[in-house]
Chains A and B, each alone.
Chain A
Amino acid sequence: MSAPASPLRAARAPVVAAYACALVTAVLTFEHPLALAALGVAIIGAGVLAGCGRSLARGALFGLPFALMIALVNPLVAREGLHVVLRLGELGPLGQLDVTRESLVFGAVLGLRALLVVLAGGALLAATVNFDELLHVFRRISVRSALTAALAVRLVPVLGRDARRLADARRCRPDAGPRPNAAERLQIVRAVATGAMDRALDVAATLEVRGYATPTAAGGARRLPDPWSRHDLAFMAAAIALVVLAGGARLLGVAHFDAYPETVIHTGASEWILAAALVLVALLPFADRRGIT
């Protein structure tokens, strides 16, 4: 099934990557829950409008355990905060352990940030960017790095297919059950990992035969750059605006958040305006659907 068309998918790969990176930068800039919530809305909104809501949901399933772990570990390791909610007494090497309201709040903030980074920098980027195009751009900067990355990206599905073939072969054995148990899975993984080097050598030989070893071929024929589309411009502008908004807010002290010793969340008009601006700036480029069918 092909991915649904959307303005974000219509933009060139470096612009999509810049847009996702800008969202990640904004997430890492703020600790204020309102700003993070706004960025969460922006990221989910971008995912839905780009037609990759399911990918985002899968990303959330992957990121949620990490987020929860961060949220749970922080109160156990942070020794700060004034409002004790739970006294756990002396816990061996951890010493006196008091869980404070502040450490719980900050743990939740850190967890939310981790989740948003996974969503924006992982799920949204992976679902919307054309990696071939992106690697093509990076080839101009470093041929070897781009080639290595391209090979790695291609080798993963190849190894996945190898694993599936090996699993099918295992099922043909008379003593095999319908699903492999843990030991059998480990055997398959070991077989695939052992074969990875052979696969890599095959790919390297193929590349050499195709002339990738020579600088001219690796550099590729030079061609005129494509003109920027209005989607390129819109998403690039949104990316820049997001970074400027985040940096400006930081410099001006808007959305200031003090985690310790007491949680102080300034929530005035400027914070609400910032939150609205973050959502608006991130989602505005999706409004232009001309040429998207």
Chain B
Amino acid sequence: MSRRSRLLAVLCAAAALGGCGVGPGKSPAGPIGLTVTGDFGTRPYLSLPGARVEGADTVMRVLQRNAKVGTRFGGDFVQSINGVAGGHVAGRPVDWFFFVNGIQSKKGASAVDVHGGDRIWWDRRDWGVTPDVPAVVGSFPEPFVHGTGGKRLPVRVECDDPRAGACDVVAKKLIALGVPAGRSTISHSAADNTLRVIVGPWSELRGNDAEAQSLDDGPKASGVFARFDASAQHLDVLDGRGRVVRTLGAATGLVAATSEKKREPVWFVTGTDKAGVDSAAAAFDEKLLHNRFALAIAQGLPMDLPAEVAAG
């Protein structure tokens, strides 16, 4: 083999390994879910459990194959989906954002490849409070089942009391989904590539790590529109504009997810007290979490987070 041929072979191999190739590439192995909603998941527009996909599609191409999409800035930014456009509504900025398996992407939709089993969720929402909602719970059982970027991630359930009923409920639900979840007490140093579900009353979880701190810092930091008070006995429920619309007392549960930079999401199954944590653990369920950014449970009743803005 001549030197030139060898160089050519090396270049071809590098190109192939770098994801280069001719044609559309291989289609994902499993079905791709596509959900389009508005107002933090409360207004459903489109739900396709098996969206049309061709080849190695990106999130943008999957959306364009399955809905009428208006784009801007060279096709990187979604302006409208099926005629519902971003812009300003009642003086508030609203735009389309997307999550893959409940995790907000750091890249544009045309730069994110889809993988078998991914759940893509587009939501048009008010981003006046924050454009960053790093993780949501509404794609459950994702990201536990298919992970992120086509790779499953190790899952660990961390509990203030590993023998508590709530801890058991959460771990068993994950195992029932085929997710091999380890169980441990709450760690103070998170492994960056592990999906953690932290279970326990907020008074025990508070200040344990950066994610717990961001939840206390409010929606700007965590993307979760709820905040425990100083005593951790009350939960302030916020609306999409970041205003407190309700304060929930004893036996209030919360299921929420957030993540810090360059770390995998952390889910909180927590509450004001043991009863609250138990109700949150019971709500750790696909049906209840479906299309919700986060979920509060008060007196056994689920409540969307953020809370809907009252008319007027």
A residues at B contact (CB < 8 Å): 77-90, 95-96, 98, 260-261
Number of B residues contacting the other chain (C-beta, 8 Å)? 28
User: Contact at A96–B75, with CB atoms within 8 Å?
Assistant: no
Chain B neighbourhood of A83, CB < 8 A: 24
Q: A84-B56, A96-B107 given; name 20 further pairs at CB < 8 Å.
A: A79-B75, A79-B76, A79-B111, A80-B71, A81-B75, A82-B54, A84-B55, A85-B22, A86-B23, A87-B21, A87-B25, A87-B56, A88-B20, A89-B15, A95-B111, A96-B111, A96-B113, A260-B71, A261-B61, A261-B69
Contact A78 B64 (CB under 8 A): no
In the complex, which residues 16-59 of chain B have their Cβ closer than 8 Å to any Cβ of chain A?
Answer: 18-25, 54-56, 58
Q: Which residues of A contact B107 (CB under 8 A)?
A: 95-96
CB distance from A261 to the nearest CB of B (A): 4
Contact between chains at A89 and B58 (CB < 8 Å): no
Beta-carbon contact of A84 and B74 below 8 Å: no
What is the minimal beta-carbon distance from B33 to any residue of chain A, in angstroms? 19
Tell whether B155 is near chain A: CB-to-CB under 8 Å.
Answer: no
Within 8 A of A (CB), among B105-119: 107-108, 110-113
Tell me if B166 is interfacial: C-beta within 8 Å of chain A. Answer: no
A84 close to B75 (CB less than 8 A): no
> In this assembly, does B60 line the interface, its C-beta being within 8 Å of a C-beta of chain A?
yes
Distance of B18 from chain A, by nearest CB (Å): 4
**What are 27 of the A-B contact pairs (CB < 8 Å)?**
A78-B74, A79-B75, A79-B76, A79-B108, A80-B74, A81-B75, A82-B65, A84-B24, A84-B25, A84-B55, A84-B56, A86-B20, A86-B21, A86-B23, A87-B22, A89-B18, A89-B19, A89-B20, A95-B111, A96-B19, A96-B58, A96-B110, A96-B112, A96-B113, A261-B64, A261-B65, A261-B69
- With most chain A CB atoms within 10 A of its CB, the pick from B61, B107, B112 is B61
- Establish whether residues A95 and B108, one from each chain, have CB atoms under 8 Å apart when the complex forms: yes
**A96 and B59 alpha carbons, distance in the complex (Å):** 12
**0/1 string, B64-108, CB within 8 A of A gives 1:** 110001010011100000000000000000000000000000011
Contacts of A87 in B (CB 8 A): 19-23, 25, 56
CB closest chain-B residue, reference A103: B75
Question: How many residue pairs bridge A and B at CB < 8 Å?
Answer: 66
- Which residues of chain B in 280-296 are interfacial with respect to chain A, using CB atoms and an 8 Å cutoff? none
**B interface: dominant SS:** mixed
- Check B23 against A84 for contact (C-beta < 8 Å): yes
- Which B residues lie within 8 Å of A95 (CB)? 107-108, 110-111
Judge whether A86 and B111 touch: CB under 8 Å. Answer: no
Q: What is the distance, in angstroms, from A84's C-beta to the closest C-beta of chain B?
A: 4
Shortest beta-carbon distance, B24 to chain A, in Å?
4
Residues of A within 8 A of B58 (CB): 96, 98
Q: How far is the CB of A88 from chain B (nearest CB, A)?
A: 6
Q: List the B side residues contacting A86 at CB < 8 Å.
A: 20-23
A80 to B77, CA, bound (A): 10
Q: How far is the CA of A87 from the CA of B26 in the complex (A)?
A: 11
In the complex, A227→B5 CA distance in Å? 74
Central interface residue in A77, A80, A83, by most chain B CB within 10 Å: A80
A98 to B113, CA, bound (A): 11
Q: Which residues in B have their C-beta under 8 angstroms from that of A80? A: 60, 64, 71, 74-75, 110
- A85 near B23: Cβ-Cβ < 8 Å: yes
Q: Which residue of B lies closest to A91 (CB)?
A: B18
Q: Which of A84, A85, A95 gathers the greatest number of chain B CB atoms within 10 Å?
A: A84
In Å, the complex CA distance between A86 and B25 comes to 9
**Bound form: Cα–Cα A80–B64 in Å:** 9
Taking CB atoms, residues of chain A closer than 8 Å to B21 are 86-87
CA distance A261 to B70 in the complex (A): 9
Residues of A within 8 A of B108 (CB): 79, 95
Q: Is the CB of A77 within 8 A of B24?
A: no
The 3 closest A-B pairs by CB, nearest first: A80-B75, A89-B19, A79-B110
Q: Please, which residues of chain A bring their CB within 8 A of the CB of B65? A: 82, 261
The residues of A that contact B15 with a CB separation of less than 8 Å are 89
**A77, B111: Cβ atoms closer than 8 Å:** no
Q: Which residue of B lies closest to A74 (CB)?
A: B74
The smallest C-beta distance from A85 to any residue of chain B, in angstroms, reads 7
Which residues does chain A contribute within 8 Å of B111, judged by CB atoms? 79, 95-96
> Which residues of chain B are near A98, meaning CB under 8 Å?
58
Residues in A neighbouring B110, C-beta threshold 8 A = 79-80, 95-96
- Chain A proximity of B108: nearest CB distance (Å): 7
* CB of A263 to closest CB in B, whole Å: 13
Q: Which residues of chain B have C-beta atoms less than 8 A from A84's C-beta?
A: 23-25, 55-56, 61
Known A83-B24, A261-B64: A78·B75 in contact at CB below 8 Å: yes
Q: Which of B23, B65, B75, B113 has the most chain A CB atoms closer than 10 A to its own CB?
A: B75
**Cβ-defined contact, B64 with A82, below 8 A:** yes
Shortest B274–chain A CB gap in Å is 47
- The residue that A82 contacts in the complex, of B22, B23, B61, with Cβ under 8 A, is B61
CB distance from B259 to the nearest CB of A (A): 22
CA distance A79 to B76 in the complex (A): 6
* B20 neighbours in A (Cβ, 8 Å): 86-89
